[in-house]
Amino acid sequence: MKLYRFLTGPDDATFCHKVTAAVNKGWHLFGSPTYSFDADSKTMRCGQAVVKDVEGHDYEAGVTKLSDF
């Protein structure tokens, strides 16, 4: 199965660590990162899509937990 996640976070080191952790768990960057202003919190927010191929498992909506992979 192919899994997809969209990671988001504030424009600081925590976001970079979140993406780094995903890459080190076998996730691959997918597309370009995003960057936008959050008017409510008056801060910049980052986003990055990641994908991962997992053999031997079938995806089931509502059952498959992305955090398990």
pLDDT at 68 over 90: no
Hunting for tokens 């509502």 — which residue is that? 62
CA 22, CA 41: separation in Å to the nearest integer? 26
What's residue 26's pLDDT? Answer: 96
pTM of the prediction? 0.85
Indicate the burial class of 69 (C-beta count within 10 angstroms; 0-12, 13-18, 19 or more).
middle
Sign of CA dihedral 61, 18, 16, 28: negative
pLDDT tens figures, 8-56: 999 999 999 999 999 999 999 999 999 999 999 999 999 999 999 999 9
pLDDT at 7 over 90: yes
What's residue 67's pLDDT? Answer: 83
Domain ranges of the chain: 2-58
